[in-house]
Chain A
Amino acid sequence: MTMFAPLAGIWMPSPQDLRLFGAELSLVAAIVALLVLSMLFGRSERLGAGVALAAAVAVIFFCRDAAGLVDTGARAALTPPGAASMLVADRFTVFFKLLLALFLATIIWLWMTGAAAGRTGGEVRPVPAGPEFFVLLLTSMLGMSLMVATPNLLVMMIAVETASLPSYMLAASDRRSRAGAEAALKYVLFGATTAAVMAYGLSLLFGLFGTLDLPAIAAAVSVKGMPALGWIAMAAFLVGVAFKISAVPLHFWCPDVFEGAPVEVATWLSVASKAAGLGLLLRIVAAFGGDVPATIALPLAWGVGLVAAATCTLGNLAALRQESVKRMLAYSSIAHAGYMMMAAAIPPAAAGDATVRPAMAAIVSYLFVYLLMNLGAFGVTAMVAWSQGSDRLAAFTGLGRRAPWLAVPMSICLFSLVGLPPLAGFAAKWWLLAALGQGADRHSWLWWLVFVAVINTAVSLYYYVRVIRQMFLADDERLERLAVPVGGLALANGCAVLLLLLGTVAFGLMRDRSLAYAACLARAAPESVVAAQDRLAWNGGPEGMVVNGADRP
């Protein structure tokens, strides 16, 4: 196995390389610590939450550190000598890790709120149990962090599996719930099948190109063209990515899992899983930019665009008639994944062109806003479900009177999900559409995606407003006021305030920040293509292509 030769040898990453990946390492350390500590001190939920929180803080710390290193122009990749990079660290991966860490912290917050409510309120609710929950959460986060940070197909595959396996168990973490068990089973079956298809595509790609390094494959393709089998292999590989994004037609697991799983898990999967999948998709699409001829880059973009349009349309249409709010939010998350995928459909232009960055910045800002909106909406749904024992639409009746401090932030989150100004959801959608419009300068078919997006926006209003209608327009005097845990109030209102700020005064600030985070991937991708071409030339072109360190003299 020449592939592993560099690792079996004496090569060790330098301390600086390790600092770049301190976030991943601290996650691994936290996972091990959790397992060991719970063996030593017994199953303490508080301990689990504490360690997980510490891991989130460490990830944020290391990400800031890595961001500084990346900016000073340090070699931003974990590269065995002579081989292609296995992991890269650029501002784009830093963003995803920061996003995931922030999200992890809020999920822990939500979990603690729920646990406190379960204890004090006296009502039994399915709290995912202590250390296991956090171990699985951290493991899936590790997988997601790796997903966005690698140009290597094999590492991508491993990362996807690392993210997926704990997610299956998380979905079933309420052991008494039949719905949860059913959801987890569906999730596993779907996941296993798509993983098999993905592995098949991977093996075909390796057979065709003799390398697993994505930029090298892109370089080979740009010289030699894409064989028909290559298209099949690419499509098969992308099936695994589409599963993580829950893109149509691989979205069927999503509503069942979100409805059956505990709220914390559903919230986690709704944002984190899709974010990681989108990051991975973006990296693949960006790799096929640069010098890759349009005959290859364009069909890829069309394919992504078509799936994106189908995803947001079907997601929205299916959401229209849902009675369970969690299930409605699940379909809404499918729709939003569709919107975000549209940005990935913008064909990357030649190296140094400005069109990639707006697309990536759009996804970066959309993901951040989407996190806030979904967190708020799921959070309020959780509070309602905990006190009412149901997440049906009927449970929200009269919430405007019974718990105004839940109903108002919920409305803000929902209107933001629609994309109405002056809320952040509009800002996010605006940057997305602006990126599409800018891309349409060269590819006018992107205007069709703009149409699909705006018409879907109008359609989506209907189902989000159904919840608002139930909260404010319907009321039943017999229903009493709701007791809401303070932590939940803080979470929901915090999200709402941020959404208001990001939609108005911080509208431009968010843009600047997201452009900064999108900067490096756009720069890094063409560079690595150039590097791969150097190696190709050195190896005598794609015919004799063995891009691997061990084969070099």
Chain B
Amino acid sequence: MEHGNLLNLLIFLPAVGAVLCLIVPGTRTVKVVATATTALVMLLSLGLFRHFAWWGRGDGWQEAVFGGTYGERLYEVTRLDWIRLDGTTIQYFVGIDGLSFPLVILTTLITFLACLASWNIESWKVGRGVRGYFALFLLLETGMIGVFCALDFFLFYVFWEVMLLPMYFLIGVWGGPRREYAAIKFFLYTLAGSVLMLVVLLAFHFYSPVRTFDLIEMAVNDRIAAVFNAETTSFLGWKFATAMFVFLFIGFAIKIPVFPFHTWLPDAHVEAPTPISMILAGILLKMGAYGLLRISYPILPAAAEHFAYALAVLGVINILYGALCAMAQTDFKRLVAYSSISHMGYVLLGIAIMTAAGLQGAMFQVIAHGISSPMCFFLVGVLYDRAHHREIDRFGGLWLSMPVYGSLATLGFFASLGLPGLCGFIGEFWVLVATFSAPFAWARPMAVLAAVGVVLTAGYILWMLQRVYLGPARPEYESFPEVTGREVFILTPMAVLAVALGILPQQTLFNFMNGTLEQICELYGDGVSMMASVAGMCLGR
């Protein structure tokens, strides 16, 4: 455990920026302040690499990343007593390990890009304050980074909720025609899930023989694990672990979103302005998966195993249902939204099978989708800014009038599709291979069904590409201006990462997170987890 203040800076710098946004004069200055803040946060977050990358630690990096047990290798830790509660204290406890590190980087990067994507806010024709938008935007960043860094359950809950308020306003005020409905639906769904998390927060505290809110402690302490996972521990007549797992799962499933809790997502995505869609798809959805991996699975492995089948089924439903829905959409943005549901299904499936390879695949898919889906949403946004509609069937031949845009769009959608060599492929492939070799009788049929999803994905994306970008040029779109420098600047990092993750998965991602993921797997105990990781088999580690 290494102490440091970098995370505090990352969490609270955006909040300071938000206050600055409220007081500086002039709309242009507000934009500059906001962009400078997000850029600064992104650059600072790169400093985290020194804990995980080989160039930061020299020969010791393998030990630093892969060594120890879960919770032993935490970096940039800050622990402060916050609230005294009988027998314990609620702490301000932040730190990162291989699980949260890629997500923090992803958050700072996507937020920075989304901030740049907000520069044309005047053209959204909502006529509302620029100031408020950027202040809320930065507040949202504080909440998001906080969620990924918090290692105290109470603090996690607080950040989780802090995120809700800005998001409600960002969708509700600056969104599309049905923004009010979409915003309140998002808010109610998420709050309904998080109040169940509040019950779990209390129950964990009062059932635990060691009064603590420390998420690491809860996962690694044998006395706590014995009580939580015992058959005899009951909560209002249910088995304790089962009840807690279900409550937590509902909270996280709403965020991921898992069928049947997904209905807020198409509405929120379609109505939200482009940068907010980028953040929703790129970061907020990931919090559900992160929550499962940080809280549910390490602390309640017995219940996780009990529900493995149910979760895998839900994952496959997500993959197939999301893909089929995407195929049926006529609205471009809605199509991308449903593709998110489909892609997050792989994440759930990878987590559900409880092997190291499954976790690796799931986490890779999380990051890969965190890069490809904001890119897709931005690509849709670029088009919407010009055409002011999103009807797929009314487009055609755009590659001819906008060659640069067309090329980038093809790259982005292929990354989403899972073309080998691009980021989407590795995650899906890893999950499918892991599911195939998972130690459950039902795993192979699941893998087969999930593999069908790959075909469906190719189907709806290729069909969409054909209708929008290929074919004869349409006269009404011939005068469309090519993508601007700003737009290319936003798309380039995501495009580069999509390629880099696809070609060098080990160097760009697996090396940073596999250590922690294997440690989480070790917590599962003797039952299912002692599987060799596919990464190990394939790459000789």
Contact = CB atoms under 8 A, between A and B. Distances in A.
Interface string A434-457: 101110110011011011001101
B169 A472 contact: yes
The 5 closest A-B pairs by CB, nearest first: A508-B83, A454-B195, A437-B202, A421-B158, A437-B206
B488 interface: no
A511 B198 CA distance: 19
Contacts of B157: 421
Interface string B481-507: 000000000000000000000000000
Interface of B: 82-86, 90, 157-158, 161-162, 164-165, 168-169, 172-173, 179-180, 183-184, 187-188, 191-192, 195-196, 198-199, 202-203, 205-206, 235-236
B162 A421 contact: yes
Contact of A473 (B85, B164, B180, B195): B180
Contacts of B187: 461, 465
B379 to A, nearest CB: 28
Interface in A503-547: 507-508, 511-512
Contact of B202 (A421, A422, A434): A434
A471 B188 CA distance: 18
B94 to A, nearest CB: 15
Contacts of A448: 236
A462 interface: yes
A36 interface: no
Given A438-B206, A444-B236, A508-B84, 5 more contacts: A421-B157, A433-B198, A437-B202, A457-B195, A458-B195
A507 B82 contact: yes
Contacts of B202: 433-434, 436-437, 450
Contacts, number: 82
Q: How large is the interface on A (under 10, 10 to 19, 20 to 34, 35 or more residues)?
A: 35 or more
B288 to A, nearest CB: 18
A376 B397 CA distance: 57
7 contacts: A354-B86, A422-B161, A422-B162, A444-B236, A473-B172, A508-B83, A508-B90
A267 to B, nearest CB: 25
Main secondary structure of the interface of A (DSSP, over half): helix
Contacts of A415: 165
A438 B202 CA distance: 9
Nearest to B174: A473
A268 interface: no
A296 interface: no
Interface in A404-429: 415, 420-422, 426
Contacts of A438: 86, 206
A472 B85 CA distance: 38
Contact of A472 (B161, B173, B199, B206): B173
A450 B199 contact: yes
Nearest to A460: B191
A469 interface: yes
B170 to A, nearest CB: 11
Contacts of B168: 465
Nearest to B198: A454
B272 to A, nearest CB: 14
Contact of A421 (B86, B161, B173, B235): B161
Nearest to A420: B161
A441 B196 CA distance: 19
A358 interface: yes
Contacts of A445: 236
B184 to A, nearest CB: 6
B264 to A, nearest CB: 14
A436 B205 CA distance: 12
Contact of A461 (B90, B191, B198, B206): B191
A469 to B, nearest CB: 6
Contacts of A440: 206
A457 B197 CA distance: 13
B161 A426 contact: yes
A507 B169 CA distance: 26
Given A447-B235, A511-B83, A454 B199 contact: yes
Contacts of B82: 507-508
Given A454-B198, A461-B191, A434 B85 contact: yes
Nearest to A510: B83
Contacts of A457: 191, 195
A463 B187 CA distance: 12
Contact of B184 (A354, A421, A451, A462): A462
A473 B173 contact: yes
Contacts of B235: 444, 447
